[in-house]
């Protein structure tokens, strides 16, 4: 987990150092996406998954004839 925190800190530092203008908007967007992904991993570890086989809603097929 500490490596994830280090990556988050590194990305935040890059975002602070990057000048904000039209030319760097795409780069900043990519950094924000990575940051969101890493923060999501902190909340829900990779091993944990939502749902699985047998869960959910499956109405099946019906005939209307």
More confident: 37 or 62: 37
Is pLDDT at 45 greater than 80 in this prediction? Answer: no
List the structure tokens of 10: 């590194």
Q: How far apart are CA 25 and CA 44, in angstroms?
A: 29
Q: How far apart are CA 64 and CA 25, in angstroms?
A: 53
Give the model's pLDDT for residue 22.
95
Question: How is the chain split into domains, by residue range?
Answer: 2-43
Closest CA to 11 of 26, 25, 32: 32
Q: Give the mean pLDDT of 8-19.
A: 95
Percent of the chain predicted with pLDDT > 90:
55
Is pLDDT at 8 greater than 70 in this prediction? Answer: yes
Is pLDDT at 35 greater than 60 in this prediction? Answer: yes
């Amino acid at each position: 987990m500490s490596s994830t925190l280090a990556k988050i800190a590194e990305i935040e530092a890059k975002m602070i150092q990057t000048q904000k203008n039209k030319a760097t908007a795409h780069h900043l967007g990519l950094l924000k996406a990575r940051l969101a992904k890493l923060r999501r991993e902190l909340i829900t570890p990779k091993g944990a998954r939502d749902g699985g086989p047998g869960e959910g809603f499956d109405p099946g097929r019906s005939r209307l004839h």
